[in-house]
Amino acid sequence: MILGNFTRRTSLALALLVCAGLANHAPVHAAAAASAATDPAALPPIERFFINPVLADAKLSPDARYLAALSGAPGRRDYLVVIDLQQKSAKLVAGYKDADVRHFDWVNNGRLVYDLTDRQIAVGGDNLAAGLFAVDRDGGNLRQLAHRQGVSVTSGSNIDRKILPWHTRMLETRGAQNSDFIYVQSADFKQNHRDTGDLRAVNLLRLNTLNGASQTIQRPGKVSGWMLDHKGEPRLAMGSEEGVTTIHYLDPATGQWRVLSTFSTYKGGKGAFTPIGFGGDGTLYATAYDKSDITGVFAVDLATGKLQPEPLMVAPGYDFDGSLVRSGDKVLGVRVSTDAERIVWFDPAMDAAQKKLDQALPGLINLVSFPSENHTEWVLVRSYSDVRPLSYHLYNLKTGALDKVGDAYPGIDPRRMGRQDPVRYKARDGMEIPALLTLPAGGAKNAPLVVLVHGGPYVRGNHWGWNGQTQFLASRGYAVLEPDFRGSTGYGDKHYRAGWKQWGLAMQNDIADGARWAIAQGVADPKRICIAGASYGGYATLMGLVNDPDLFKCGISWAGVTDINLLYDGHWSFTSDMNDQWKQYGMPDLIGDQLKDAAQLKATSPIEQAARIKAPLMLAYGTADRRVPIYHGRKFLDAVKPHNSQVEWIEYADEGHGWSLPENRVNFWGRVEKFLDQHIGSGAKVN
């Protein structure tokens, strides 16, 4: 472990950088790297789009006296740093030569908990088990709480340690942050081996971060997720069996668990809801469908498990996608995502403070979070826009003082990024399709277009804001269209259900219709359009080349599904999210039944239709992908190569469902740049 200290009074951002530099035994010249002299006409370096974030996260201590942050830099490890906001001094409290700090949180004002990863090796998207550690804010009293499988990391002490198994993880929701205890979750396997075990349930443990002692909370059946209440105590337990979700409630009046609600896991239905948190008075808030077609925020009657008749908040045209914004026990507002993110404040004083903050940081989305105790003065602000990556500030609610903490990607020049606009277009059957359109800096007409298709597919793909992949393509002169085709979530139940059993059919038409819309708008050159995507987006890329060969001049598919039947039958490990329950109760209705829909699945299989693909095609896979194993790609390659001499094949050793290593991201997108330039860019021969 490497430790360092810096006590000179200085700005927050400089304190953070100097502290990180001392830990690495060399100064960190992030600002100099960001402003290195280059030819103004030169393209922004590809590395700046695909590095790991230099500032990955930051959190205020409960009393707002200290700020903890993950500080990184290209070529070195990520460290956990604590800044004294009164003294403006920084202390590196956790840093390793062979590991990176990954997640962290405050236990109380004097102690933190964190886990580890290794960002310098590709390990199949699963990375080595993260372990769990606790340390005082000055770097002392380090204790290992859970094993880190595959790597030996010790504190150097000889204390009698009670170390929990490797599958012990931090909770996403924080506890009370006023004692030495935290709640953690620990998977319960039939076999204690991460590659062959069977997940039975997820246990909840109350863990002492000073001595490692733990107590298992009573579990009401097969539980896969837990939620703490406003006091930081266990209150909900959620699980799914045989396609049915059950939510249990720990009744404070009896101290016993009871069933609060049950509903279909994959199809929802009447009474279905998703808990989002508890208010200061114990009210449970949840998202559910209102009387129209979209989800809103409801209060749940804890006596009956039923939703209150009227929603507390609805965003017209958008399903609720967000969280409660708390200050201590009080809910001051909700964070929502429509075209972009924002906070809807219930508190008039915070609404006024938000307006002043937005004036101080114009043109940015400014999202506020509070410390758990001292919530009347300093707040942490996460800011971003379509052309500016995430940055962190501290904002004083009383004085209006604003202090920059740092940038996630300090090498990005906003003036050279492309503007991004939410758009809507009509599909051929009249359904409205939301999308994001990003144009190169300065705009573009009749430009080469990349239609970038999101994975999932039953997720919301588009979120307005800076995105490395999108902005890299725009920086190379391409317009980028990202459609939320039917089946995507976030736009109502009708939009979602319209995509059921529509792989390669109406979902595919929505994507093609988006490209034709871009042509009609004068944005896209009809002779220079490429389709690209990962996972389901890779499937849609291949089917785009099958269904619309005159529209798409080339395709780029990475980690792409190549046959729906392989989702049922092909080479899955237990750690894949394609579990038996999803295959039995979800896939037949949402994607297609192997027996009832056999003819459709064959007609919409890229492998079965491989002979029809004649356009230039790039295929890329990770050898350790457990979600879409490389078997998908190799089987498709064997089917397409006899009919197409323009197929480029790429493998990344030990990578999973996407590229975890920056060097692999740089390598892949460098290849994409050359591929696009050759087929639809400046080097293309357009007929």
**Is residue 151 domain-resident?**
no
Q: What is the side-by-side strand order in the sheet with 76-84?
A: 4-6, 89-94, 76-84, 66-73, 55-60
Highest mean pLDDT among 320-324, 510-514, 578-582: 510-514
576 belongs to a structural domain: yes
Nearest to 177 by CA among 100, 101, 107, 75: 107
Q: Is the peptide bond before 309 cis (omega within 30 degrees of 0)?
A: no
What is each CA distance from 573 to 169, 408, 567, in whole angstroms?
21, 34, 12
Q: Report helix angle 506-520 to 536-547, nearest 10.
A: 70
| Tens-digit pLDDT profile for residues 216-254 | 999 998 999 999 998 899 999 999 888 889 999 999 999
CATH number for the domain that contains residue 435: 3.40.50.1820
> Residue 573 domain-assigned?
yes
The pLDDT of residue 686 is: 66
Residue 72 neighbours by CB distance under 10 Å: 23
Q: Could you give the percent of the chain with pLDDT greater than 70?
A: 88
Q: Is residue 218 part of a domain?
A: no
**Per residue in 356-408, pLDDT tens?**
999 999 999 999 999 988 677 899 999 999 999 999 999 999 999 999 999 99
Specify if 256 maps to a domain.
Answer: no
SS3 at position 85: coil
Is 136 domain-assigned?
no
How open is the CA angle 661-453-572, to the nearest 5 degrees?
60
Number of domains the chain is built from: 1
Backbone angles phi, psi at 205, to 5 degrees: -125, 140
- Which range of residues forms the domain containing residue 661? 417-679
C-alpha to C-alpha distances, 451 to 10, 278, 413, 427, 515, nearest whole angstrom: 46, 41, 24, 15, 7
Q: Does residue 531 fall inside a structural domain?
A: yes
Hey, what long-range contacts does 266-273 have (CB within 8 A, 24 or more apart)?
A: 266/582, 266/585, 266/586, 266/589, 266/590, 267/589, 268/493, 271/305, 271/306, 271/307, 272/245, 273/298, 273/300, 273/307
Q: Which residue, among 671, 607, 674, 672, has the nearest Cα to 642 in the 3D structure?
A: 607
pLDDT of residue 443: 87
Cα–Cα distance, 390 to 2 (Å, whole number): 27
- Our CA dihedral for 254, 256, 260, 266, rounded to 10 degrees, sits at 170
pLDDT band for position 41 (cuts 50, 70, 90)? low
Nearest to 403, CA basis, from 462, 361, 438, 456: 361
In terms of average pLDDT, the best of 278-287, 369-378, 547-556, 564-573 is 547-556
Mean predicted confidence (pLDDT) in 599-609: 96
Q: How confident is the model at residue 96 (pLDDT cuts 50, 70, 90)?
A: very high
Report the C-alpha gap between 566 and 589 in whole angstroms.
17
In a domain, 29, yes or no: no
